[in-house]
Amino acid sequence: VTSFAKARQALHTTTPSTIFCRDKELAVIENFMRPLIERKPGSMYISGRPGTGKTACVTHILSNKTFSGKFELIFVNCMLLCTPASIFQHIAQQLDTKWNASAKEALPFLEDRLT
């Protein structure tokens, strides 16, 4: 992890109490999340230009009492990662802060941990 990535992780952002002009997007995210409360599998990939409210929308939905504390949330900013394999490594490190291995070892670790 680069110094820049560490600095970005250390900077905490707050979730706004109101998200403007994103009603459709908020509804899509919330409708996707509801079945996950019953432990149904799923993952969501949200992409878009920086600063358009992707993270704000997700954290806003998850701050709702319906979802609060029911998920282990991992954000992956792919712009900070060098290779596709490093995405798995990043997720593994987020799930287990003591885990420290190569990107190649991350996929088997995740398969074991998540299935």
DSSP per-residue letters across 41-66: --------STTSSHHHHHHHHHHSTT
The predicted model gives 84-109 an average pLDDT of 89
**pLDDT, tens digit, for every residue of 15-51?**
678 899 999 999 999 999 999 888 888 888 898 898 8
**pLDDT, tens digit, for every residue of 60-95?**
998 888 888 887 778 888 888 888 889 999 999 999
CA distance 59 to 36: 16
Residue 98 has pLDDT above 80, yes or no: yes
The predicted model gives 92-114 an average pLDDT of 89
